[in-house]
Amino acid sequence: MKKLMWLALAISLFTLPSFAQEVPSMSLSGGYSYFRIGGSNGVNLNGFNASASFATNHLLGFVADMGAYHGSPQGVGLTTTTYTFGPRITLRPSSSFVPFAQALFGGAHVSASYGGASGSSNPFAYGGGGGVEIGSGRIGLRPEFDYLALRSNGTSSNCFRIAVGVVFRFGAK
């Protein structure tokens, strides 16, 4: 009986490295993004967002995210660019369904133009959100939802982003 227990322990220890190899060390994602600045009376913008995430272990990682959005509400050209970074917690219940949550901190550049006049600001951006990676292998689909606040001159604009992109996974941890 004792030999059987040692054999079971040895087999389980040998399976740990193969379990760890299922975690991609890096992933890149890019796709369409809908960005809303303000609450119920806000402005809708459409654009693109891209992110790179780096896994430090099976659960914790780091993400760098950038988005560019544009709209023309009531003839005003409005462009917003966000660049945020932060930690990402990833759960791995299966290789084809990988939910994650993230906290984001960084900045934004907001510019508006109308009739030859223009203005811009560079607010601090912070927030968080999450999503899920769907699909196994090296390529998958990543829908996500994030709340962002753009803070400038003592006031914050509440924003949210819905993004859908293709994710490419590289390496193994």
pLDDT digits (tens, 9 = 90+) for 86-136: 999 999 888 789 999 999 999 999 999 998 899 999 999 999 999 999 998
CB 62 within 8 A of CB 88: yes
pLDDT at 16: 46
| Cβ-proximal residues to 15 (8 Å cutoff; 6+ apart), any chain | none
Q: What's residue 17's pLDDT?
A: 45
Q: Are 140 and 134 in contact (CB under 8 A)?
A: yes
CB atoms within 10 A of CB 64: 15
Any bridge partners for residue 89, and if so which?
60, 101
Residue in this structure with the two tokens 């924003």, named with its chain if needed: 159
Q: So what's the pLDDT on residue 173?
A: 58
Dihedral, CA atoms, 98, 29, 104, 25, nearest 10 degrees?
60
Domain 2-170 indexed as CATH 3.40.50.720: no
Contacts of 136 (CB under 8 A, 6+ apart): 95, 96
| Structure confidence by residue, pLDDT tens digits, 9-45 | 455 444 444 444 467 789 999 999 999 998 778 899 9
